[in-house]
Amino acid sequence: MLYSSSMANENDNNWISSKTVVEALRTFSCDQYGKATRRLNMILVDAVQKYDVLLETLFACLLLVVCEVLRGSDVAAQYHLDGAIRLIRMPSVAKSQLLLADNNINNWCAMKELSLIFQQLDLQAAAFSGPRVPICTEDIESITRYPTFNLQDSGIADKKGASESTIEDLRQNLLPIQAKVSRFIDFKTVIKCKYHPKLKQTQEQEDESNAIKKVQETLLEQLKHWKTNFDSVSPGSKEGLNPIKQCATIALLLSYLTSYVLLSTSLSPDETAYDSHSATFAQIIKLSETFFQQEKFGPDTLPSSNTFSIDMKVIYPLYITALKCRDYTMRRRAVHLLSMCGREGVWDGRMMASIAQSVIAYEEELATRLNSTPREDENSMIAIPERARIHGVGIVDMDREQGEVNMVCSRHMGMMTVNIDNQVIWERVVLYAKF
């Protein structure tokens, strides 16, 4: 329908603007979403056999998420995302998936793919705006509860070994681990253990800290196991991939590297912990450059980095590198690559490059004052001590149309300076970026 309208307008030399297309998609999706929701409410008792309605509803949610992101309405996009995730988690939906696995493999695969897409979007939202759902201690081993697809029990088990795994298999295996890592890092007990001085812990706090460390070790082992499977894929099959699949492979490896760095440092109270991951940051930059090169010389069907994509690919890994890698040359290279990116969901390459540049400028200016050594010029290298390093960066106000963003950041007031209540003392830093 939209295609026919577009062709008609083309013949009349009256092109439809991208904004009009987005609004048309949004209106269509809202109508379909409303119809599907009303149908779902009427037959919820019999929802086990109404998988077509579930698929309609989830697909409408996905369209709405994309449209709201394109409109720059992140809050509205998150609202629809949360609605889809709540629907996927319903017991009746889980029951219907078992029925689909037995009776209709095509619809089962569609439901599975939609669930994986929403899991990716949930990870993206958590990375951008932080966790939205409180987590109990007993949920730490299964923090993100998405539908489980028991292939063996449903008679369609995957018999392939690690060496025969496809990129899609690896992607599906990495997603649940990433979900656990994301929730673990933002878990309030993890944050408390991270910034609670070890020398003044009570026995109860020490036990709690040890328990958290065990969970961290378990997640690290899961990531390492995934990497082993990734490396076991024969080199010949990797070299024979077309540019599109090579970019998908690079994006997958970038996701792994970013998760591993963030998880490895999740319990360290000092930003200097990231210094031991310089080789990983260098690898992220090199892989990102290869990603851009593949896009440049790949086929026309390969989406360019300066266009919109709903998937997270290179922006988040480069953003973390620009913030956490204090190597003068590498972090500037990361900022430069970020500025070349377009949109990946809520992630805007130019905006993240501007944010990172503001943090870099603040750290280097403060480091210069603390070192009491004037810089020869603005391009001269400078060591960033712990006291000058920004820990957290939170976006408090953002105007995508005007290209402005306000941030609230935090840094230590000293090397693990604590007050009488045994709490780390922080300084609140307000930064502004223009993109």
User: What is the dihedral angle through the alpha carbons of 360, 362, 366, 368, rounded to the nearest 10 degrees?
Assistant: 50
Burial code (b: 16+ CB inside 10 Å, e: under 16) for 59-98 equals bbbbbbbbbbbbeeebebbbebbbbbbebbeeeebeebbb
Q: Is 187 left (phi over 0), alpha (psi -120 to 50) or beta?
A: beta
Question: Which one is predicted more confidently, 87 or 240?
Answer: 87
Query: Tokens 């219907």 identify what position?
Result: 96
> Tell me, what's the pLDDT at 31?
75
pLDDT of 36 strictly over 50: yes
pLDDT of 380 strictly over 70: no
> Tell me, what's the pLDDT at 82?
82
Q: Which of 121-125, 206-210, 229-233, 279-283 has the highest mean pLDDT?
A: 279-283
Question: Which one is predicted more confidently, 339 or 192?
Answer: 339
Tokens of 422: 């045994």
Q: Which of 4-8, 37-41, 303-307, 359-363 has the highest mean pLDDT?
A: 359-363
pLDDT of 332 strictly over 90: yes
Nearest residue to 104 via CA among 40, 44, 49, 172: 49
By the 10 Å C-beta count (0-12 exposed, 13-18 middle, 19+ buried), 291 is classed as: buried
- Average pLDDT over the chain, rounded to whole? 76
Cα distance between residue 146 and residue 383, in whole Å: 44
pLDDT of 165 strictly over 90: no
Cα distance between residue 335 and residue 351, in whole Å: 10
Do 166 and 248 form a contact (C-beta atoms < 8 A)?
A: no
- pLDDT over 70 percentage in the chain: 68
Q: Residue 70: enclosing H or E segment and its boundaries?
A: helix 51-71
Length of the chain: 435
Question: Which one is predicted more confidently, 47 or 166?
Answer: 166
> Tell me, what's the pLDDT at 272?
93
250-294: per-residue pLDDT in tens?
999 999 999 999 999 999 989 999 999 999 999 999 999 999 988
97-153: per-residue pLDDT in tens?
555 555 556 666 777 777 788 888 888 887 876 544 333 333 333 333 333 323 233
Edge-to-edge, what's the strand order for the sheet holding 404-412?
A: 392-399, 404-412, 426-434
3 state DSSP class of 425? coil
55-107: per-residue pLDDT in tens?
788 888 888 888 888 787 777 888 888 888 777 777 666 555 555 555 556 66
Helices (H), ranges, 233-348:
235-239, 243-264, 278-297, 315-324, 328-339
> Tell me, what's the pLDDT at 43?
55
3 state DSSP class of 396? strand
> Tell me, what's the pLDDT at 73?
78
Cβ neighbours of 104 (radius 10 Å): 14
Give mean pLDDT, residues 30-54: 64
3 state DSSP class of 149? coil
Q: Out of 88-92, 226-230, 408-412, which region has the weakest mean confidence (pLDDT)? A: 88-92
Cα distance between residue 34 and residue 247, in whole Å: 37
Angle at 194 between CA 192 and CA 198, to 5 degrees: 95
Do 411 and 387 form a contact (C-beta atoms < 8 A)?
A: yes
Cα distance between residue 302 and residue 425, in whole Å: 49
Q: 297 Cβ partners below 8 Å, 6+ apart? A: 243
Q: Out of 175-189, 233-247, 340-354, which region has the weakest mean confidence (pLDDT)? A: 233-247
pLDDT of 158 strictly over 50: no
Give mean pLDDT, residues 6-19: 47
Give mean pLDDT, residues 8-27: 57
> Tell me, what's the pLDDT at 235?
53
Nearest residue to 140 via CA among 217, 88, 195: 217
Q: 231 Cβ partners below 8 Å, 6+ apart? A: none
Read off the pLDDT band of 45 (50, 70, 90): very low
- Dihedrals phi, psi of 392, to nearest 5 degrees: -115, 145
Cα distance between residue 282 and residue 294, in whole Å: 19
pLDDT of 172 strictly over 80: yes
Cα 383 to Cα 354, 356, 360, 392, 397, distances in angstroms? 21, 17, 12, 20, 31
Q: Out of 16-25, 40-49, 143-152, 184-193, which region has the weakest mean confidence (pLDDT)? A: 143-152
Read off the pLDDT band of 378 (50, 70, 90): low
Question: Which one is predicted more confidently, 146 or 422?
Answer: 422
Nearest residue to 240 via CA among 232, 249, 251, 231: 249
> Tell me, what's the pLDDT at 15?
42
